[in-house]
Amino acid sequence: MFLPSNIRAQVPAAPVLTLYEFNGPLETPYYNIDSFRRRGASAPTGYLTMGSSVVPCVVVKDNQPLTDKNGVPFVGFEIIVDAGNAPPDSANILRKALQERQSMKVANHHCGGGVTNVIDLRKLYPLQEAPFFDPPTAQAVSKNGQAGQSNLDRIVRAFHNSLTCGTVNQSLTKRRAALEKAWEQFIRDNKERFSADELEKARHLDYTLRTAMFEGHLDRGCNAYGGCERNIIALTIRNRAKEHCSKRQGCLERGDFKGVATKISQYNIWDEYLTQITGTTSCFLRNDLVNTADNGYMRLQRMYEQNVADVESILFGGDADLQRIFPGASMKDLKMLGHYYHPPAMGKCFPQYDGVKYVTGAIARKKDEYILIANRRIHIGGRADNGYFFRDFVVRFTGEKDEIQIVDNYPGFVVDGRRLNAQRMTRCVPYGVPGACSGGEVGRYRRLPPWHRSGKSIGLTCGINDRGESCRNGAGWQSVTVGGPCDTEMQLITGVK
């Protein structure tokens, strides 16, 4: 696909990129090169499925890169993994391609002669996460599942161990809809074993726990903070479905926990792409997965076990249950809590640096050589030739701070100035926490959500068995507080209008 490297090789090769648009269409159009040159992006030749991994390249015609009138590159591409038809070993295929290209050096990012189609570079991201598939069933799975802590828990486990659940993750796309169909089939198949009310409640419980587990920080495992965080996420789902049911937040009728929990704009983990790379829709409670070599399933099972009793009480219990799970909190604050955010995951901003730009898609040029910049940050320098010299602005997130490196990977290249929009730095505060809580050097800055001022910041305390991040430690009862004015990991905002 690409022109061969030669003695001029000096810049990093174009990376493997992923086709992605948050909560966007399942398919994105691509265009024949000749058609695009004549008519622009008006007549698609075909479509590529969200989550597909490709290696892009610059189409050069008459010594000019192919762009639209605003300088947006439309790039050739080689498909590494087609999410619409992904084989079970897609994860290995992608990892191998990522590794091969990571250290590769080339003269430029030009396409070779066999490329015939182009796609909008702005739709491609350097995400690098591998596709997720449940492993094949290793043994005959018990119809009833493992013993649960309640009847609803037993029904949820039975669903995870059912053949219907096993169909959900067989293909990479449309998993949210597949999970919904699987639960509908399971309810039809088991209406003689369980009451209709129990089956509906078990479905709500399953969806709420999936959301609480994957929306929270998985790396916390079974430590007390992580367990309390999951209870709080479940509380927001409960309140959005009971206290102030709104279609905008996914609630079609009072008690619609499932609809609230899977509203993509509110709980992002149900986005089409994120269901491809996480276990959100997996059958993680399968009996045969607890002792697999991949102990990630064991960890998920124990996280579920840590929270299932509390979450069942949060959804279906009364005020006394809420007060028991979150002691010391006012009932008004508990029932008004519908909003939270994780400060480290908010928009990154860098007020301590001048000239940082986030580039969605641009061409950089050095004489007759062209390279691509797709959805990443750069640090611009001196102006030249209708653009700017630049260096890569590399951010590595650690628990306490953002580690910054400014690296000159493309010496002499000039990025197209049309693609560098002016950016106003708004709502950017230390750690993404609204109060002046930090002392000394600030480790990171984050943007506040626009609604944070319309409510009140609170902290909630939970008492929970702490089994550590690995979920392997002996259980020990611990009291922990999540949220509050100075919590840099999670902010709880109650009473948002």
Residue entry with tokens 């007020």 = 351
What residues form DSSP beta bridges with 46? 30
pLDDT in the model for residue 327: 97
Q: What is the mean pLDDT of residues 118-144?
A: 82
pLDDT in the model for residue 64: 94
pLDDT in the model for residue 113: 87
Distance CA 136, CA 330 (A): 47
At residue 199, what is the residue type? L
210 alpha carbon, distance to own chain's centre: 14
Cα–Cα–Cα angle for 136, 141, 145, rounded to 5 degrees: 125
More confident residue, 140 or 454: 454
More confident residue, 437 or 1: 437
Q: Which residues contact 422 (CB under 8 A, 6 or more apart)?
A: none
pLDDT in the model for residue 438: 64
Residue entry with tokens 């802590």 = 149
Strands ordered across the beta sheet of 46-49? 46-49, 27-32, 117-120, 74-81, 53-57, 17-19, 124-125
361-373 residue pLDDT tens: 999 999 999 999 9
Residues of the chain above pLDDT 70, percent = 95
At residue 348, what is the residue type? K
236-270 residue pLDDT tens: 999 999 999 999 999 999 999 999 999 999 999 99
323-366 residue pLDDT tens: 999 999 999 999 999 999 999 999 999 999 999 999 999 999 99
- Checking if the pLDDT of 218 tops 60, the result is yes
Name the average pLDDT for the chain: 92
pLDDT in the model for residue 403: 96
Answer for the pair 292, 135: CB distance below 8 angstroms, yes or no.
yes
Answer for the pair 393, 406: CB distance below 8 angstroms, yes or no.
yes
Q: Tokens for 334?
A: 């508990």
What residues form DSSP beta bridges with 396? 403
pLDDT in the model for residue 139: 52
Q: Judging by beta carbons within 10 Å of its beta carbon (0-12, 13-18, 19+), is residue 39 exposed, middle or buried?
A: exposed
At residue 119, what is the residue type? I
pLDDT in the model for residue 291: 73
Distance CA 335, CA 245 (A): 12
pLDDT in the model for residue 474: 79
- With bands split at pLDDT 50, 70 and 90, how would you rate the model's confidence at 142? very low
Distance CA 87, CA 52 (A): 12
Residue entry with tokens 């796609």 = 119
Q: Tokens for 416?
A: 């197209």
Q: Judging by beta carbons within 10 Å of its beta carbon (0-12, 13-18, 19+), is residue 17 exposed, middle or buried?
A: buried
The closest alpha carbon to 86, from 348, 215, 275, 329, belongs to 275
Q: Which residues contact 485 (CB under 8 A, 6 or more apart)?
A: 433, 434, 435, 437, 457, 459
pTM of the entire structure? 0.93
Q: Tokens for 377?
A: 């940050």
Distance CA 230, CA 217 (A): 9
pLDDT in the model for residue 5: 45
Answer for the pair 485, 437: CB distance below 8 angstroms, yes or no.
yes
Q: What is the mean pLDDT of residues 209-230?
A: 96
- With bands split at pLDDT 50, 70 and 90, how would you rate the model's confidence at 145? very low
Distance CA 488, CA 410 (A): 36
Domain regions of the chain by residue span: 11-131+352-419, 151-345+450-494
171-197 residue pLDDT tens: 999 999 999 999 999 999 999 999 999
**What beta strand segments (E) does 190-254 contain?**
none
- With bands split at pLDDT 50, 70 and 90, how would you rate the model's confidence at 201? very high
- With bands split at pLDDT 50, 70 and 90, how would you rate the model's confidence at 4? very low
Q: Tokens for 326?
A: 């979150």
Cα–Cα–Cα angle for 97, 99, 100, rounded to 5 degrees: 65
Least confident of 137-151, 153-167, 224-238, 399-413: 137-151
pLDDT in the model for residue 144: 44
CA 95, 100, 102, 103 dihedral sign is positive
CA dihedral 2, 3, 7, 12 (to 10 degrees): -30
- Checking if the pLDDT of 106 tops 70, the result is yes
pLDDT in the model for residue 475: 76
